[in-house]
Structure 1
């Protein structure tokens, strides 16, 4: 996935502006983002501090690596079972 050009602190600041009552259209215009991006960030990060946002990203990256590892192991297991079936 592509890295954002916005830091976690910038995202938190943008979301805080929305929480403070500034219109979303104005926030997005100033930040140069789409409203869809704003609402995706809001859904994912609302209420998190920048450090918590970084930790969430680390956990998501670790989870993706573990999912890939499990998928690879499942494929290896399936291939080994197939070889064993053929040799019997």
Structure 2
């Protein structure tokens, strides 16, 4: 997963500013992000606290790591099965 250059607190702060009435283009300009990035954040992280966001990111990173591990183990298994099939 691509590492965000923004912290959980910055993302939640940006979303909260828009909720409190600051115009979305103004929030985006201050952070140097596109409107699309802001709306992606709002769709993905809207309504959660910084600690919940941090926990969610940790789970996403762990999920990615485990998926890679499963893929590696699946390849190892397939190679071992090929070797066994050739020996038989």
Q: Would the TM-score normalized by the shorter structure come out above 0.5?
A: yes
Is 20-29 or 76-85 further displaced after alignment? 20-29
Cα distance, 1:17 vs structure 2? 1.7
What is the CA RMSD across the aligned residues, in angstroms? 1.3
Structure 2 residue aligned with 1:22: 22
Number of residue equivalences: 88
Unpaired segments ≥5 residues, structure 1 = none
Report 1:1-88 matches (<5 A).
Answer: 1-88=1-88
Q: Deviations over 1:15-71 (max 9, x none)?
A: 012222332112111222111110111111111100001001100010011001100
- SS of the equivalent of 1:16 reads helix
| CA distance in 2 between partners of 1:5 and 1:59 (Å) | 18
- SS of the equivalent of 1:40 reads helix
| Runs of 4+ residues over 3 Å off in structure 1 | none
Task: Please give the TM-score of this superposition, normalised by the length of structure 1.
Answer: 0.89
Cα distance, 1:77 vs structure 2? 0.5
